[in-house]
Structure 1
Amino acid sequence: MLHPSENSYHGRTSTNQEYWHERIRQTNISALDKIEAGKKPALLGFCSDTGIERNQGRIGAKNGPDTIRQALGPLAYHARFEHIQDFGNCWDHDGNLEEGHDELYGHIYSLLAHNYFPVIFGGGHDLAYPHGKAVIDHCLAKNEKVGIINLDAHLDLRTLANDQGHSGSPFFQLAEAYGKDFHYCCLGMQPASNPTTLLTYAKKIGAHLIDIIDFQLENWNEIQDQLEHFCSDKNKLYLSIDLDGFSSAYAPGVSAPSPLGFSPVLVMKVIDWLLASKKMISLDIVELNPIFDQDNCTAKLAARLVEYSVRKM
C-alpha cells in the first residue's frame, strides 16, 4: 500500500501561498488517472533501511523521506507549477526489499507514463535499481536511449550479497539486467571508497567516471565538456544524488560520511546543466540518515536541492 504522508509539511502561513507547504497536494497514487496530466514534478518516498543494512551501513534512512518533507515545507515557493503532487511513501514490507522495489518500480513507471517528473526521496541508494528500471523500460518502449548520472562518492557497482540487492549494488543490477542499454556516469567518485574490483567492472561496462579531485568548481568548464560527451547521444537522463557524495561539512547525516566530497554549489550547476538540456526526466535524492544529522543541515541540503530542481524545471 502507498499513502500520502500526513502532517509532514509545516511552515508559516501566507495570503498568497508563498511557501512550499501551502503548494503541496497530498494524493493517493490510485487517483493518478483522475489528476490533470502534464509535465510536472511528483514527489514519492521510499522508506527503507534494508538495503543499507545488507550493505553493512548505518541504518536510519527509512525516516529520510518525511524528514526531507519537514525541511521542504517552510521554504519559499518560486516554481512555475500551481501545485506539487505528493504521492506519499512506500516501503519494504518488513524487510522484503524485493517486494518493496517491485512496488516502487510500478509507481515510478506509472508516473512517467502520465508525463510526470518523478522526484524520489530515500531511503537507501538501493532504490536506484527500481527507479532506473522504470526509467529505462519507459524509454526503451519509445526507442529512446537513457543516460544515468550518479552524483556519489561510491560507484554502487558491488555484486549481490547472498543473492540479494543492497544499497551498494543498484547500478551493478541495472548493468547486468540491461547490458548495452545501460549507460552510466558517476560524478565525484572517491577512489578510497571504491576497491579495484569495482573500478575494473566500471571500465568493463564503459562507465564514465570523474574523480573527486577533478570534480571541483574550478574545473567547471572541463566538467561541462565531459557532461556533453556523455549526454550528447542520449535522449533522456536520470539523475541520482547520493548525499554521502557531499563533504560531511555539508552532509553529516548519511550512512557513510566523508570529510572529502563535492559542494552544493557545484551540484546545483550540474542540475542547471542537465535541466537546460531538456533531457532530464527523473531525479532521486538518497541516503539521508536523520539519526546522525546535525542541526538538520543534511535534511535542509536535500530540501534545497529539491526546491532548486523544481524551481529550475
Structure 2
Amino acid sequence: MLHQNPNPSLWSGRKSETIEYWHQAAISIKDLKVDETQEYPKVGILGYAGEEGVKRNQGRLGTAEGPNAIRKSLGSLAFHLPETSRIFDYGDVYTENSDLESSHELITDTVFNLLETKHFPILLGGGHDLALAHGRGVYKHLASKNQTLGIINMDAHFDLRPTIDGKGHSGSPFLQLAQENQDAFKYLCLGVQRSVNPKSLFETADKVGAKWMVMEDFRLNNWEVIQEKILWFLDSVDKIYLSIDMDGFSSAFAPGVSAPSPMGFRPEFAFKVFELLSSSKKLISMDVVELNPAFDHDQATARLAARCAEYVARKVLR
C-alpha cells in the first residue's frame, strides 16, 4: 500500500492544559481509517509525499518533504476552530518506482471518502500533479449529487501543459481534468505570469474554457474588478475546490518552491481572496502544493503554507 501512517511527533508546540494550539487538536489516524462520525466539523489532512510529477516536468526536486514541513509549522499555530471540531491527520501517500498513477488512485479514493464523511480535506503537497488526483475525488463526490464544481487555482502557471508520452506531470493536472470532464470543467486561474506561460498555454486555456487573471491585474489596487470576477465564477458553480501553489507567491515570501518567482502575489492579498471564497460557503476542499523545503529559508515558505491552511480552515468551519 502506498501509504505511510502519520508521525505524531511532527505535531508539537507550546503546552497548555486546554486545547490552544493545532498540535493539541491533531489526531493521528492509522491505515486511512476515515472517521465516519458526522456530528462535528472535521478537517482531514492528507499528505502527498511525491515528486515524480515534478521530476517529469523538469522541476527542482525536494517537494516530497513538503507535507511534513507544513505539519511542523501547523502544529505551533493557535487553535481558533470551533471547540467541537476535530483535526484528523491521515498520513501521507507516496510514490514507488515512479508509479505516479497508483499514488493518484489512492489519493482520489481517499479524497472521495473524506468528502463523503463530511470532512473538509486539506491536502499537503508534494508536486502540483496532486491536483489531478484531488480533483478526480471531488468530481466523484459531486457526481451523485448532480452538483457542479469550480476549480480555483492560485498559481503563476496555468498547469495546462500536455502530458508527456501519455503520462501526467506537475504541469498537466488541469488539462487532464479538462479532458476528463469536458463541459463540466470550470476553471479560474489567478496570478498567471506571462513570463512563464507561453502563448500556446493561453490558447489551450481558451480551448478548455478556462478563466484567468494575469499577475499584472491581480493586485490590490484592482480589487473591485478581481472581486467581481471571482463572485461571477462562484455564482456559476455549486462547489469550489481551491488549489494554492506556493510558487504563485512572490519569492520574497515563498523562496522554498520548485519554480520561484519575484513577481508573484503578496500574502495579505491572497488571504483577502481566501476570505472571499470562504464566505461563499461553497468551498469544500483545498490543497497547498509545491513547497520545497530544500530551498526554504528559516521555514518561511512552510510557515506561509501552514498559515494558508489554518486561515481557510478557520474561515470555512466557523
TM-score, length basis structure 2: 0.96
**Which contiguous aligned blocks of 4+ residues in structure 1 show a shift greater than 4 angstroms?**
33-39
Which of 182, 194, 197 pairs up with 2:197? Answer: 194
Which of 261, 283, 287 pairs up with 1:284? Answer: 287
Distance 1:274 1:34, change over 3 A: closer
> What residue ranges of structure 2 are gaps of 5+ in the alignment?
none
RMSD: 1.2
Deviation at 1:254, TM superposition (A): 0.2
Deviation at 1:36, TM superposition (A): 4.6
Q: Would the aligned equivalents of 1:37 and 1:115 in 2 still touch at CA under 8 Å?
A: no
* Cα distance per residue 1:92-131 (max 9 Å; x no partner): 1232100000011110010011111110000000000010
Name the counterpart of 1:94: 97
Q: Would the aligned equivalents of 1:146 and 1:236 in 2 still touch at CA under 8 Å?
A: yes
Deviation at 1:238, TM superposition (A): 0.4
Secondary structure at the counterpart of residue 88 of structure 2: strand
CA distance in 2, matches of 1:185, 1:22: 36
Name the counterpart of 1:55: 57
Q: Would the aligned equivalents of 1:40 and 1:116 in 2 still touch at CA under 8 Å?
A: yes
Q: Would the aligned equivalents of 2:42 and 2:86 in 1 still touch at CA under 8 Å?
A: no
* Cα distance per residue 1:18-77 (max 9 Å; x no partner): 111111011125432554555422111010010000000000000000000011111111
Q: Would the aligned equivalents of 1:9 and 1:69 in 2 still touch at CA under 8 Å?
A: yes
Worse-superposed segment, 210-219 or 149-158: 210-219
1:91-130 aligned within 5 A: 91-130=94-133
Name the counterpart of 1:162: 165
Amino acid at match of 2:112: Y
Q: Would the aligned equivalents of 1:241 and 1:284 in 2 still touch at CA under 8 Å?
A: yes
Identity of aligned residues (%): 46
Q: Would the aligned equivalents of 1:37 and 1:116 in 2 still touch at CA under 8 Å?
A: no
Amino acid at match of 1:232: D
Q: Would the aligned equivalents of 1:37 and 1:114 in 2 still touch at CA under 8 Å?
A: no
Worse-superposed segment, 132-141 or 43-52: 132-141
Name the counterpart of 1:141: 144
Q: Would the aligned equivalents of 1:38 and 1:114 in 2 still touch at CA under 8 Å?
A: no
Amino acid at match of 2:71: R
Amino acid at match of 2:119: Y
CA distance in 1, matches of 2:96, 2:58: 20
CA distance in 2, matches of 1:97, 1:76: 35
Which of 32, 37, 40 pairs up with 2:34? Answer: 32
2:212 aligned with 1:205: no
1:36-47 aligned within 5 A: 36=38, 38-47=40-49
Name the counterpart of 1:9: 11
Name the counterpart of 2:226: 223
Name the counterpart of 2:71: 69
CA distance in 1, matches of 2:211, 2:85: 38
Q: Would the aligned equivalents of 1:5 and 1:89 in 2 still touch at CA under 8 Å?
A: no
TM-score, length basis structure 1: 0.97
Q: Would the aligned equivalents of 2:255 and 2:296 in 1 still touch at CA under 8 Å?
A: yes
Distance 1:122 1:37, change over 3 A: farther
Which of 63, 67, 84 pairs up with 2:87? Answer: 84
Secondary structure at the counterpart of residue 212 of structure 2: strand
Q: Would the aligned equivalents of 1:38 and 1:116 in 2 still touch at CA under 8 Å?
A: no
Q: Would the aligned equivalents of 2:54 and 2:169 in 1 still touch at CA under 8 Å?
A: yes
